[in-house]
Structure 1
Amino acid sequence: MPGSIPVINRMFRLQWEEAQAAWVLLYPEGMVQLNASAAEILTRIDGIKSVDDIQAELNAKYPDAEDLEQDVNEFFTHAQTLNWIDYV
């Protein structure tokens, strides 16, 4: 997974929702409001950057965060289980 390139699953659309003042994932049956950590990760997914690239960006933004790489990897595993993401 670390060298893999994640993409948002085609069944979902990531967008900023002004009414909730939060990033959300929209899908045919509803919406998932994302917490700040999930949004930090998912908004970096562009179909070009690998998981390693995203981790490097987050490490640069949050240099004092502990276990950041492990947390990001766990998030990607969880997001894939929920079908929020795929890999190309």
Structure 2
Amino acid sequence: MTVTTASVPKIGRHFRIQWEEAQQAYVLLYPEGMVKLNQSAGEILKRCSGETSVAGIVDDLEKTFNAQGLQQDVINFVELARQQKWVDVT
């Protein structure tokens, strides 16, 4: 499945995202370890609730950060996250 603006990503069932104060970053936790996320990845993944489409995530990010033109970057990241099994996409 290719990620599109209509895709609805959700954090994979073996993963959990949380803010890690000691790291001053979002991290993705899984049974075998942890992935420290950069700011962009953390902001995207924390919006992957399974209820919001990629288009909705882009809209929220652009409003939150007063930015434009994020659509392709978000699609590319969600595709990468899907390949890593960090997210499931419907």
Verify the 8 A CA contact 2:61 2:67 in the aligned structure 1. no
Verify the 8 A CA contact 2:27 2:34 in the aligned structure 1. yes
Name the residue aligned to 1:56: 59
Name the residue aligned to 1:28: 31
Q: Say which SS state the counterpart of residue 2 (structure 1) adopts.
A: coil
Among the aligned pairs, what percent are the same residue? Answer: 49
> Deviation digits for residues 1-48 of structure 1, max 9, x if unmatched?
211211000111111112211110011110000000001101112221
Query: Among 61, 68, 71, which residue is 1:69 paired with?
Result: 71
Q: Say which SS state the counterpart of residue 17 (structure 2) adopts.
A: strand
- Unaligned residue ranges in structure 1 (runs of 5+): none
> Deviation digits for residues 27-80 of structure 1, max 9, x if unmatched?
111000000000110111222111110011112123444x41111111011111
Q: Say which SS state the counterpart of residue 31 (structure 1) adopts.
A: strand
Name the residue aligned to 1:84: 86
Tell me which moved more, 27-36 or 54-63: 54-63
Opposite residue 81 of structure 1, the aligned amino acid is Q
- Unaligned residue ranges in structure 2 (runs of 5+): none
Query: Which aligned runs of 4 or more in structure 1 are off by greater than 4 angstroms?
Result: none
Verify the 8 A CA contact 2:58 2:74 in the aligned structure 1. yes
